[in-house]
Structure 1
Amino acid sequence: MPFADELIGEHTAQALVTAIAAATPGTPLPALRGAVGELATRSLRERSDLLRDALLHDLPGNYPAFARTIRAARDGRAFFGGWLIWPVTSAVAAKAIDEGSVEAFDDAMAILAELTSRLTSEFAIRGLLEHDLDRAMATVLTWAASPEEDIRRLASEGTRPFLPWSKRVPALLANPRATLPVINALYRDDSEYVRRSVANHLNDLSRQQPDLVVQTAAGWLAEPDENTARLVRHGLRTLVKKGHPGALELLGFTHASTIEVDGPTLAATRIPYGGTIGFTATITNTGTVPARLAIDYIVHHTKANGGQRGKTFKLTTATLAPGERRQLSREHSFREITTRRYYPGAHAIELQLNGVVSGRGEFTLMAAD
């Protein structure tokens, strides 16, 4: 599996050159051809930006001419999909904004909808949202009623406040309610692909407006379908990990004051770099009524500066009858992955029940050979 930065590589850039050259016979495309060999030292977003800027340099005409070329490449025989769609759609958005007309803006939104099924247009729409939020959101609302699930997902995913790998849109952060009509229209969508985006969108909103998110989720649960409860659980996951009282209550989790915790007990105090740490714990409901629990664990990782940062991981949910005892166990891997870097040194694991932290086990992650 490629590293994230390698998703846009030389093969992607060369495919883009081939498609654009076929759509504009005789155009030399010097910047685009030159960019093929300049990707190696750049991050994923920097690679996309490099190809976007090369497209804009090599196709310097007005927006209508640029849009015709992109649609010709889309309809041509050369491959025109996958990760090359990110720089292409970003170039379309940038060209429309530079043109400055509402016609160019609206057509750029249309092209993004046309191309999103070939990868996604969620990154490119951010520039258009920033340029004219009201006009863009008016179109996004129509996308929420599209017969195509990729376009419906774009309506939710492209307007997420904290969309990964994308730039922030200040107007969305300043007005978290702006996207509520979109996710309200989509939370009962037939597609799991769309519903998962809605849940992630709701989770994004919870970073700024937790009470608004709980209120929104409560409204959805008042008019549910067979998928709503699952969607809401996923959308409230961060609030549950933080122990937000409203989120816990909405999902039926009770206060953990009657729960006794023994542990976590670690299987080792030193583990090799790339290894795993196992732990166990025992929880007992000492109360007189059943206790419904969201059980997580927190790994306190050593940072590059020697400090620690906790990251919460899902363990399980459980309902304990009065007097019931339950043993928990988990192994946590420190295998290298592309999205997380580990540093040797002191680490720790804590349990968390309904947002309440309990117990602590400490261990050392050894340096890599």
Structure 2
Amino acid sequence: MPEPFKNLISADLVHACGKHLRRAWPGFDRRGFEAHALDGLDSLEMKARAMHIADALERTLPDDFDRAAGVIEAALAPPATDDRLAFATSEAGLAGWIGWPLGEFIARRGQAEPERALLALRELTQRFTSEFAVRPFLVNHFALTIDRLRGWSDDSSPHVRRWTSEGSRPRLPWGLQVKSLIADPSPTLPLLAALQDDPSEYVRRSVANHLNDIAKDHPQVVAEWLARHLPGASPERTTLLRHASRTLVKRGHPQTLKAWGLGGKLDGEATLSVSPKRVAVGDSLAINAVLVSRSRRKQALVVDYVVRHVKANGDTSPKVFKGWMLELGAGETRRLTKSHSLRPITTRRYYPGRHRIELQVNGKVVAETAFTLAK
């Protein structure tokens, strides 16, 4: 059985943190810090462990924030020199998962001194991402934080450059929402323009995810971005923009599909079937689609499927699942199959009833079927 993920933040990590903070500041109360941090740690889940250790840091680091930030910086390992994610605390200093409580401490205590706090987060993100810790500064000190992130978008460290994009995503998963950026993403667009041709794929991937966040609330902004930046794009930028378009392609957004040459209606016929027709939670469903071309030319197609899940009240809620990208030849018949899992996951609860499935080609429904989920 694999080790629980929460154990990445462990007693050993607390001891290492105490050791390096004491090295950086001989007056650090290592014994008190470790006693507070370890008290009840094993009973907590992962995020709660990070918050608990941050509480212990607040009890034992200097009250003067500039001094406390200096202690943290002096305790860090040397910065990563490439874009690999192999951060780990070692004899050289602190790095890796201990960065979560360290970042939380900076986010809590640095609100009165945001300039100093952002400098500390820039250092920390080269040892463990500061994407979550920067969010409160975007909420409470928006203009300053955006200005500093833009300024660091050409930093020599790929971890800092990636942080400027990832930390300012409107809908960062697990992160504090920045409602002003959800309402108006324009402040981060110059930053994304500066980073979309970054030499690091690690950075470019973040830009793609940032643009995809924007697409969920402002599809036209991303459609216009494609119109400006896709023509003549390098292979690397093309890959970025394709990933950034994934939500709009799934939704069948006409302007986005047209930008990728996918706007045309299927010239032909489609059928859809599933087996078995009756399943239980935990089973898998075989989805079978057949496309028959009537065209004399090949057709570029994005083929997805939509499951209309039954909700507790009997209504249905659609969820688009990624299917296939293909070229259908002139007069060709193409059979497509996919296994769809009905295993329970934390983000979706299944309810019994008749669930419809629709086959979507270039954003348009062309066939449908249904299955019954048993009680």
Q: 1:313 to 1:145 in 2, by over 3 A?
A: same
Superposed CA RMSD: 2.7
> Following superposition of structure 1 onto structure 2, how do residues 127-142 of structure 1 map, counting pairs within 5 Å?
127-142=136-151
Q: Output the amino acid matched with 2:21.
A: I
The CA distance in 2 between the partners of 1:307 and 1:162, in whole Å, is: 27
The CA distance in 1 between the partners of 2:287 and 2:106, in whole Å, is: 51
- Secondary structure at 1:119's aligned position in 2? coil
Gaps of 5+ in 1: none
The CA deviation at 1:35 is 4.0
Q: 1:67 to 1:247 in 2, by over 3 A?
A: same
* 1:197-228 deviation line (CA, Å, top 9, x unaligned): 11000000111211111111222213522211
Q: 1:288 to 1:39 in 2, by over 3 A?
A: farther
The CA distance in 2 between the partners of 1:221 and 1:136, in whole Å, is: 29
- Secondary structure at 2:98's aligned position in 1? helix
Corresponding residue for residue 343 of structure 1: 350
> Following superposition of structure 1 onto structure 2, how do residues 32-71 of structure 1 map, counting pairs within 5 Å?
33-39=35-41, 44-71=46-73
Corresponding residue for residue 280 of structure 1: 288
Q: 1:227 aligns with which of 228, 236, 239?
A: 236
Alignment of 1:113 with 2:110, yes or no, is: no
Corresponding residue for residue 294 of structure 1: 302
How many residues end up aligned between the 2 structures? 360
Alignment of 1:96 with 2:110, yes or no, is: yes
Contact map agreement 1:260 1:285 (CA 8 A) in 2: yes
The CA distance in 2 between the partners of 1:13 and 1:306, in whole Å, is: 49
The CA distance in 2 between the partners of 1:259 and 1:4, in whole Å, is: 49
Q: Output the amino acid matched with 1:343.
A: Y
Alignment of 1:334 with 2:342, yes or no, is: yes
The CA distance in 1 between the partners of 2:75 and 2:60, in whole Å, is: 15
- Secondary structure at 1:279's aligned position in 2? strand
Q: Output the amino acid matched with 1:160.
A: R
The alignment's TM-score, normalised by the length of structure 2, stands at 0.86
Comparing 185-194 with 358-367, greater Cα deviation is found at 358-367
Q: Output the amino acid matched with 2:201.
A: E
The alignment's TM-score, normalised by the length of structure 1, stands at 0.87
Contact map agreement 1:157 1:197 (CA 8 A) in 2: yes
- Secondary structure at 2:350's aligned position in 1? coil
> Following superposition of structure 1 onto structure 2, how do residues 187-266 of structure 1 map, counting pairs within 5 Å?
187-263=196-272, 265-266=273-274
Q: Output the amino acid matched with 2:259.
A: L
Q: Output the amino acid matched with 1:92.
A: I
The CA distance in 2 between the partners of 1:341 and 1:221, in whole Å, is: 35
The CA distance in 2 between the partners of 1:171 and 1:120, in whole Å, is: 22
* 1:95-126 deviation line (CA, Å, top 9, x unaligned): 221xx3xxx32222122121213221100111
The CA deviation at 1:336 is 5.0
Identity, % of aligned positions: 35
Corresponding residue for residue 357 of structure 1: 365
Contact map agreement 2:254 2:263 (CA 8 A) in 1: no
Alignment of 1:181 with 2:182, yes or no, is: no
Q: 1:136 to 1:257 in 2, by over 3 A?
A: same
The CA distance in 2 between the partners of 1:272 and 1:154, in whole Å, is: 43
- Secondary structure at 1:165's aligned position in 2? coil
Q: 1:9 to 1:335 in 2, by over 3 A?
A: farther
